[in-house]
Structure 1
């Protein structure tokens, strides 16, 4: 079994074990009641046949106050995995970059 963390970590920091073959970037941004929503999707193809989708969305009206972590919706989802590869969890969501960062830090410490 593979942990989703290892693939997310490979996207963020690189990895010798899980190399990225190519990525597809899609801009899904839109307006919602006069507010611009920045929405980006990245589909990452790994050399072992795993395909992971990263979706990040936030509104452009958020405060840039350095004392808070602005709300941001982040999701990682396995969309393809070859036979014999079982990635768990299949999907992970966060409500801020701070939450995502904490999850990465905690999983990195356990390795």
Structure 2
């Protein structure tokens, strides 16, 4: 395609930039899709990875007369990846539709030959986590 008013050299540079940008975008989508595949599987959605083991730990403690709960689930996948999902919440009565809690995903072990990126993801309530998952799986 010939761009009018743009030198042939600039056209070549623009085409190279566009191809490089397209490759970067495709790589980012592929990488993000990979992380998304794990989170989707954790939430019971179908995908290319399968959970082969789950280890659950829970603890409860008090901070300034507030009961705090924490649940950590470590998921091992069929390709060797290991991801931990931590959920922490307190027993403060709230009328909020999406009460504050803290949800963290951390990649503990990457599968051979693949780097899962981002290696961690944080949400401050279940609604944000749900929105993120729905947005990226749509």
TM-score (norm 2): 0.72
Spell out the pairing of 1:27-42 with structure 2 (5 A cutoff): 27-42=58-73
Contact kept, 8 Å, 2:88 with 2:101, in 1: the verdict is: yes
Match of 2:39 in 1: 8
Q: Distance in 2 between matches of 1:99 and 1:12?
A: 14
Give the number of the structure with larger relative contact order, counting CA–CA contacts within 8 Å between residues 6 or more apart. Answer: 1
Contact kept, 8 Å, 2:100 with 2:125, in 1: the verdict is: yes
Q: Please list every run of at least 4 consecutive aligned residues from structure 1 whose deviation after the TM superposition is greater than 4 angstroms.
A: none
- For the aligned residue pairs, the C-alpha RMSD in angstroms reads 1.4
Spell out the pairing of 1:1-111 with structure 2 (5 A cutoff): 1=31, 3-63=34-94, 65=95, 68-109=97-138
Q: Distance in 2 between matches of 1:94 and 1:102?
A: 10
Contact kept, 8 Å, 1:57 with 1:72, in 2: the verdict is: yes
Query: 1 or 2, which has the higher strand percentage?
Result: 1
Structure 1 residue 8: Cα displacement:
0.7
3-state SS of paired residue (1:101): helix
Q: 1:37-89 CA distances to partner (integer Å, 9 max, x unpaired)?
A: 011000000010000000000101131x3x62100100001000123111111
Contact kept, 8 Å, 1:3 with 1:89, in 2: the verdict is: no
Q: Distance in 2 between matches of 1:82 and 1:97?
A: 27
Q: What is the number of equivalent residue pairs in this alignment?
A: 107
Q: Distance in 2 between matches of 1:76 and 1:56?
A: 9
TM-score (norm 1): 0.88
Unaligned residue ranges in structure 2 (runs of 5+): 1-30
Q: Distance in 1 between matches of 2:116 and 2:97?
A: 33
Q: Distance in 2 between matches of 1:41 and 1:62?
A: 23
Contact kept, 8 Å, 1:52 with 1:80, in 2: the verdict is: yes
